[in-house]
């Protein structure tokens, strides 16, 4: 998975060489699969058993895909080379990304809805991975309560906190935050939750105008860029807290 854009010709050359480009770094293609195996090996039996408790085949597939996705994203953020960071993964469910971060020496926390964190197998996965977690409700125009903690990096993968309607209404009926909600949320993170050198990385989920087949509506693109964000399809990155304010 690659966030950067580059020419088709260059990508084909890289592919033929058996390499992968991630945030201006080249990796041999087997690196990530080998590294996933190394990281998961100490807990693989318990992890596989717990993942099978997810209710649908789509959940099982996503759990498998996330093993590779989260590691690639970790390297895109250069966390394999960073000194110890305090990281908050919003919507982290069972804590796999936080577990990866922990194995690379970071102080990682998982936040999610109380009912998600206490539901099986997420509860058992969090215990297996031994990562910190706390319940967090995200609502429009309400400051986040992170129990006074500040973080160097906030992440979120396939986020849904920006949906105005509950999941039970069906995906087709979902509505999403507009510019005012997003602006309040970003400024609250920058002012109250992130450290001075903090960063934000979101892999957005279902924030798109269907008729235009866009992940992000044009008005939100302008807002994100005005706040210093870098947007590539559904990947949203803010490398500098100060630019958000």
3-state secondary structure 124-170: HHHHHHCCEEEECCCCCCCCCCCCCCCEEEEEEEEECCCECCCHHHC
Position 189 scores a pLDDT of: 97
Of 55-59, 80-84, 185-189, the least confident: 55-59
User: Tens digit of pLDDT for each residue in 98-153?
Assistant: 999 999 999 999 999 999 999 999 999 999 999 999 999 999 999 999 999 999 99
Share of the chain above pLDDT 90, in %: 64
Question: What is the distance between the alpha carbons of residues 108 and 85, in angstroms, rounded to a whole number?
Answer: 8
Question: What is the distance between the alpha carbons of residues 151 and 98, in angstroms, rounded to a whole number?
Answer: 13
How many helices (H) and strands (E) in the chain?
10, 9
Residues β-bridged to residue 154: 88, 200
Position 2 scores a pLDDT of: 45
Using the predicted structure, report yes or no on whether residue 74 has a pLDDT greater than 60.
yes
What is the model's pTM? 0.89
Average pLDDT over residues 68-80: 95
- Which carries the bigger pLDDT value, residue 205 or residue 185? 185
End-to-end, the C-alpha distance of the chain in Å comes to 31
Contact 161, 204 (CB under 8 A): no
- Which carries the bigger pLDDT value, residue 35 or residue 17? 35
Position 172 scores a pLDDT of: 56
Position 242 scores a pLDDT of: 86
Question: What is the distance between the alpha carbons of residues 231 and 245, in angstroms, rounded to a whole number?
Answer: 18
Question: What is the distance between the alpha carbons of residues 232 and 29, in angstroms, rounded to a whole number?
Answer: 22
Average pLDDT over residues 16-33: 83
Of 118-127, 157-166, 232-241, the least confident: 157-166
Position 226 scores a pLDDT of: 96
Using the predicted structure, report yes or no on whether residue 5 has a pLDDT greater than 60.
no
Q: Which two tokens stand for residue 204?
A: 């957005």
Question: What is the distance between the alpha carbons of residues 46 and 51, in angstroms, rounded to a whole number?
Answer: 9
Position 1 scores a pLDDT of: 44
Average pLDDT over residues 210-230: 84
Reading phi first (left if > 0) and then psi (alpha if -120 to 50, else beta), residue 115 is in alpha
Q: Which two tokens stand for residue 87?
A: 């990281």
> If pLDDT is split at 50, 70 and 90, which confidence band does 229 have?
very high
Q: Which of 230, 232, 73, 207 has the alpha carbon at shortest distance from 244?
A: 230
User: Sign of the C-alpha dihedral, residues 179, 110, 166, 47?
Assistant: positive
User: Sign of the C-alpha dihedral, residues 167, 133, 62, 77?
Assistant: positive
Using the predicted structure, report yes or no on whether residue 4 has a pLDDT greater than 60.
no
Question: What is the distance between the alpha carbons of residues 178 and 217, in angstroms, rounded to a whole number?
Answer: 9
Average pLDDT over all residues of the chain: 87
Q: Which two tokens stand for residue 145?
A: 């309560």
The string of DSSP letters for 1-26 reads ---S---HHHHHHHHHTTEEEETTEE
Reading phi first (left if > 0) and then psi (alpha if -120 to 50, else beta), residue 24 is in left
């Amino acid at each position: 998975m690659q966030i950067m854009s580059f020419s088709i010709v260059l990508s084909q050359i890289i592919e033929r060489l058996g390499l992968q480009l991630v945030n201006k770094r080249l990796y041999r293609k087997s690196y990530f699969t080998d590294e996933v195996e190394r990281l998961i090996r100490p807990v693989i039996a318990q992890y596989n058993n717990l993942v099978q408790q997810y209710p649908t085949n789509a959940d099982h597939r996503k759990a498998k895909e996330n093993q590779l996705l989260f590691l690639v994203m970790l390297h895109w953020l250069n966390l394999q080379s960073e000194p110890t960071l305090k990281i908050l993964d919003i919507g982290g469910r069972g804590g796999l990304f936080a577990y990866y971060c922990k194995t690379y020496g970071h102080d990682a926390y998982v936040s999610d809805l109380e009912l998600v964190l206490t539901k099986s197998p997420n509860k058992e996965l969090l215990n297996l991975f031994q990562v910190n977690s706390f319940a967090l409700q995200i609502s429009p125009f309400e400051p986040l309560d992170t129990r006074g903690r500040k973080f160097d990096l906030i992440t979120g993968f396939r986020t849904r906190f920006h949906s105005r309607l509950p999941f039970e209404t069906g995906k087709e009926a979902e509505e999403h935050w507009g510019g005012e909600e997003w602006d309040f949320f970003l400024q609250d993170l920058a002012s109250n939750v992130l450290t001075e050198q903090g960063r934000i990385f979101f892999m957005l989920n279902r924030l798109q105008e269907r008729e235009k087949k866009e992940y992000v509506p044009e008005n939100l693109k302008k807002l994100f860029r005005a706040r210093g964000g870098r947007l590539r399809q559904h990947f949203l990155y803010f490398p500098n807290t100060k630019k958000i304010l």
